[in-house]
Structure 1
Amino acid sequence: MRAAYLDGLATLFYDGSIEIYNVDLHAELEGAKVWWKKLRSSSSDIEWDSLNLSDECKETVRGRQLLEQIVILDGVTVIPEFTFSDCWNLKRVIFANSVTRIERFAFYRCCSLTYIKLSINLEVIGEQVFDTCNLNSVFIPPRCREIGDFAFRSNKNLAIFHVPQDTEIGRFVFYKTKLFAKSPFRNSVESFIDHREEIYNWVKNINNDEEYSLHRIASSYQPTLEEIISIIVEKGLTPLRTENSIGITPFQYMLENPYTDVTEKDIIQSYIRKLLGED
């Protein structure tokens, strides 16, 4: 386990060799309601001396607040429950492709977390793993078979949620998100209860109409330039700026998709070469 600066962020390189979560210290923190002081304030300062916490608990919490990025190293297969919960300043998490499971609450209430790149071999995302984070987009890899209850709830800016057809989705997975607010369903608890299967069928098929074939490619796992160009050659560049039913363009999917390195510049250059007969 080591820490360093990477891309200007205080980064923990997590190899799983040390148990980061301490159940007793977590219970002590929960009892003091420290996280509410943080989440409800625009300031990062906490009056530690006024809190009825042990020195060990204070030191542990302070250390967690230093983390801005976590890189999960190759060889780690499971992220244990609660491991990085309440890391309030954590912004980015990059998972090694060896990770197959993320257990419940692992990144719960990481309220600054805006970016994740999940393992391509991930199979299970546990209950409330990314609950109350600040993710804008989520791309679930094709091998993921299960997403637990409330896993992405209360990510208020979450507008892009690409999930494979065969993935089983638990209760209220993206409740209280921008995506659900844009859905054709009433934005309420009752609506989520009454129309759960319809809602999840809707989110899995947002881009399945032929009109959104470019959206479907751009949001998929590792979209290729060849796939994109095949549509652009047939339909022109207009589909790049066409919004789907929730207001997302293929270009936005490509910008957000952590599994693609295709850029709009690549597409336009390749398209021009096609027009000129150079390809």
Structure 2
Amino acid sequence: MRTKLVDGLLTLFYDGSKELYNQDLHFEFTVVWDQLKNTKLTAKEKFNHLSFECKEYINERLSWEQVIVEEGVTVIPHTTFGGCHGLKKVIFANTVTKIKDHAFYCCKQLVHVNLGLGLVCVEMNAFGCCNLSCVFVPPSCREIRSSAFASNKNLSILQVPQETELDNDCIDDTKLAEFALSETNTQTYPITWIKNINADDTYALHRACSSYEPLKEVIYGIIEEKGLKAFNEKNEIGITPSRYLKENPYADLSEMEIVRDYFSKKFNF
């Protein structure tokens, strides 16, 4: 595995050749931090109580800002990137079929994930306590298990196939769960409602630009209704639809192409 700067982010190219999670060193870090939590020591002073090996381990994990999972990797093991607080973005290869429990748990700055087209299962708490606002699940996915996306406070879009099995608490403590409870006036959010929230007009252009198969016709219709200024309307974490188009590796549409074709259609150029 190697690291290098990509788009200004320190990026780990994960090929699965090395076990990144060390249970013993993780346990040492947890115990020391718990023992010193009520002291007046600074974080740096607390860090000095760790062994050299533990310091190296934690420092490395905190340095990663982006992960690109390389082709050939099929499983992201348990807790592989758990607690990597600096991680902002993850791009999965299409060969990844399973993301195991707690694989990205408590990556508090993680705001963007591109799930691969071969994904079959997202296990318990895989992305719990992150900072995701939009998740687009590929058609291949069959299971999203308990708390998989729980405690992502800003999560408001979960685009998921109707065939995917969702555990009842997979989005607990998210904006989407709050919407579901208020809209349906129930104590627990119905899974069918969660799957159909994709029709929410508030996020129409973001959804169209971010989908795995963005259709010009859909985007044209939204532009017709909302006008071109809709491209510059930011969602709740500050991402515009035009930025989605640039970042989505499965979208071959450029903003200028859409605008040009839109005007051609509208004014019969």
TM-score for the superposition, normalised by structure 2? 0.81
* Aligned position for 1:195: 188
Q: How many residues are matched?
A: 255
> What corresponds to 2:197 in structure 1?
206
What CA distance in whole angstroms lies between the structure 2 residues aligned with 1:227 and 1:145?
Answer: 26
**2:3 aligned residue:** 3
| 2:149 counterpart of 1:152 | yes
Q: Aligned equivalents of 1:6 and 1:211: distance in 2?
A: 32
Q: Distance in 1 between matches of 2:131 and 2:204?
A: 28
1:164 is matched with: 161
Q: What is the aligned counterpart of 1:105 among 99, 102, 107?
A: 102
CA distance in 1, matches of 2:117, 2:180: 28
Is the contact made by 2:82 and 2:107 (CA closer than 8 Å) also made in structure 1?
A: yes
Partner residue, 1:127: 124
- Checking the alignment, whether the CA contact within 8 Å between 1:180 and 1:187 is kept in structure 2 is no
Tell me the CA shift for residue 56 of structure 1: 1.3
Aligned residue in 2 for 1:74 = 71
Alpha-carbon shift at residue 137 of structure 1 (Å): 1.1
| Residue type at the aligned position of 1:260 | A
| Mapped contact 1:208–1:216 kept (Cα < 8 A) | no
Cα deviations by residue, 1:56-84 (Å, 9 ceiling, x for unpaired): 11210111011111110111010000001
Distance 1:2 1:237, change over 3 A: same
1:13 aligns with 2:13: yes
The answer to whether the aligner puts 1:238 opposite 2:226 as a matched pair is yes
From 114, 117, 120, the equivalent of 1:117 is 114
Q: Does 1:136 align with 2:133?
A: yes
Aligned-pair distance for 1:206? 2.0
CA 1:160 to 1:213, structure 2 compared with 1: closer, same or farther past 3 Å? Answer: closer
**Residue matched to 1:40:** none
Letter of the 2:195 counterpart: K
Q: Which amino acid aligns with 1:271?
A: Y
Q: One-letter code of the match for 1:269?
A: R
Q: CA deviation at 1:50?
A: 4.7
Write the distance in 1 (CA, Å) between the matches of 2:228 and 2:268.
22
Shift of 1:260: 3.1
| C-alpha separation in 1, matches of 2:106 and 2:91 | 17
Give yes or no for contact 1:86–1:109 (8 Å, CA) kept in 2: yes
Judge conservation of contact 1:98–1:121 (CA < 8 Å) in 2: yes
Distance 1:252 1:7, change over 3 A: closer
Contact 2:74/2:96 (<8 A) preserved: yes
Q: 1:116 Cα shift?
A: 0.7
| Aligned position for 2:23 | 23
User: What is the percent sequence identity of the aligned residues?
Assistant: 42
Give me the whole-angstrom Cα distance separating, in 2, the residues matched to 1:208 and 1:63: 42
Alpha-carbon deviations, 1:94-116, whole Å to 9, x = none?
A: 11111111100000111111111
Among 70, 79, 83, the alignment partner of 2:80 is: 83
Contact conserved, 2:125 with 2:150, CA < 8 A, in 1?
yes
In 2: Cα distance, 1:71 partner to 1:206 partner: 29
Alignment of 1:244-259 (within 5 A): 255-256=243-244, 258=248, 259=250
Kept in 2: contact 1:214–1:240 (CA 8 A): no
Shift of 1:178: 1.9
- Cα RMSD, aligned residues only: 3.3
Query: Which region of structure 1 is more displaced relative to structure 2, 142-151 or 218-227?
Result: 218-227
- Compute the TM-score of the two structures, normalised by the length of structure 1: 0.78
Q: Distance in 2 between matches of 1:262 and 1:237?
A: 20
8 Å contact 1:254–1:262 — kept in the other structure? Answer: no
| Cα contact 2:158–2:198 (8 A) shared by 1 | no
Structure 2 unaligned regions, length at least 5: none
Indicate conservation of the 8 Å contact 2:206/2:241, yes or no. yes
Residues 1:132 and 1:7: Cα distance change in structure 2 (over 3 Å):
same
Kept in 1: contact 2:205–2:241 (CA 8 A): no
1:55 Cα deviation (Å)?
2.0
Q: CA separation in 2, counterparts of 1:55 and 1:166?
A: 49
SS of residue in 2 equivalent to 1:56:
helix
Deviations 1:106-160 (A, max 9, x none): 0011111111111111011110011111112111111111011111111112122
